């Protein structure tokens, strides 16, 4: 989904009308605040993600990458949570990052913004909601190495302690 500047203006004006109607108790099929946020932040791809009845273009490469990173960290954190207390302490002692740290807001602003939009506006990956997702240093090279290990696993939705360690080792390289 792409919009010209004129189309953005029209949609944003319609969002204002929808908000006014909504405040008077009218039921809305679309969330005007969400659509306004998507348009103002350039996340047009998010509108058909939320409203699946709309046909959208394939997700941009950067969006797919952020989804892959979020899913990898979801599986890592879930696997660590399922370990015994002793194993959790061992993993956390040995590896500097055992929770999703985010992206660099200055050097990786697109990934940073996409992650916030997915988490806060699309309300996906709620386990990361409320976290400071600005690492203040670039992390994409690390994530690419970690993803290579994670995506090579045939059982990435049932990670073992050894799997988690092999993925986290890539962070510290």
Distance of CA 161 to CAs 36, 79, 87, 109, Å?
43, 7, 8, 32
Residue 122 near residue 49 (C-beta atoms within 8 A) = yes
| Owning domain of residue 21 | 5-50
Q: Are residues 69 and 150 in the same domain?
A: yes
Q: Are residues 41 and 121 in the same domain?
A: no
Residue 129 near residue 76 (C-beta atoms within 8 A) = no
Residue 100 makes CB contacts below 8 A (sequence gap 6+) with 69, 70, 73, 74, 76, 77, 128, 131, 133
Residue 165 makes CB contacts below 8 A (sequence gap 6+) with 91, 94, 95
Looking at residue 57, its pLDDT comes to 82
pTM of the model: 0.89
Q: How many folded domains does the chain comprise? A: 2
pLDDT, mean of each 10-residue run, the chain (173 residues)? 83 86 84 93 93 87 98 97 94 92 98 98 97 97 98 94 95 86
Q: Are residues 40 and 74 in the same domain?
A: no
């Amino acid at each position: 989904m792409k919009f010209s500047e004129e189309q953005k203006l029209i949609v944003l004006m319609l969002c204002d009308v929808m908000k006014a109607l909504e405040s008077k108790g009218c039921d809305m099929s679309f969330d005007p605040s969400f659509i306004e946020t998507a348009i103002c932040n350039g996340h047009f791809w998010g509108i058909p993600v939320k409203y699946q009845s709309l046909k959208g273009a394939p997700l941009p490469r950067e969006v797919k990458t952020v989804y892959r990173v979020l899913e990898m960290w979801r599986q890592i954190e879930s696997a660590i949570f399922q370990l015994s207390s002793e194993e959790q302490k061992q993993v956390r002692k040995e590896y500097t990052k055992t929770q999703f740290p985010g992206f660099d807001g200055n050097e990786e602003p697109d990934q940073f913004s996409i992650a916030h939009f997915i988490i806060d506006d699309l309300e996906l990956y709620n386990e990361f909601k409320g976290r400071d997702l600005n690492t203040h240093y670039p992390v994409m090279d690390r994530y690419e190495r970690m993803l290579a290990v994670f995506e090579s696993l045939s059982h990435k939705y049932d990670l073992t302690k050894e799997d988690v360690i092999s993925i986290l080792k890539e962070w510290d390289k």
